[in-house]
Amino acid sequence: MARDEPLVTIATFETELEASFARGALDASGISALVPHRAELQVFESDRDRALVELRRLRIRVVPPTHDA
């Protein structure tokens, strides 16, 4: 994931397992995602909107983050 743009936190989850499941769903859709901190899901800034649409399509509950990374 070596791109020259910032990562942004798009969601937080109650468990790291839930965050990893969401990351896997995004990866399967061709969107690079990362779970760098406990239960936080991050994507590249340019993928933010597409990632949120994909999570909603998959009916993955998105909890807005308390901050951007």
Walk along the chain (69 residues) and give the pLDDT tens digit of each residue. 557 899 999 999 989 999 999 999 999 999 999 999 889 999 999 999 999 999 999 888 777 777 654
**Tally of domains in the chain:** 1
Q: What is the pTM of this model?
A: 0.83
Per DSSP, the residues of the chain read ---SS-EEEEEE-SSHHHHHHHHHHHHHTT--EE--STTEEEEEGGGHHHHHHHHHHTT---BPPSS--
Look at residue 5 in the predicted model and tell me its pLDDT. 92
48: containing domain:
7-57
d(CA 41, CA 12): 6
- Report if residue 53 sits inside a domain: yes
Please report, as a single letter, which amino acid is at residue 21. F
Q: What is the pLDDT of residues 15-32, one digit of tens each?
A: 999 999 999 999 999 999
CA 44 to chain centre: 9
- Report if residue 63 sits inside a domain: no
- Report if residue 52 sits inside a domain: yes
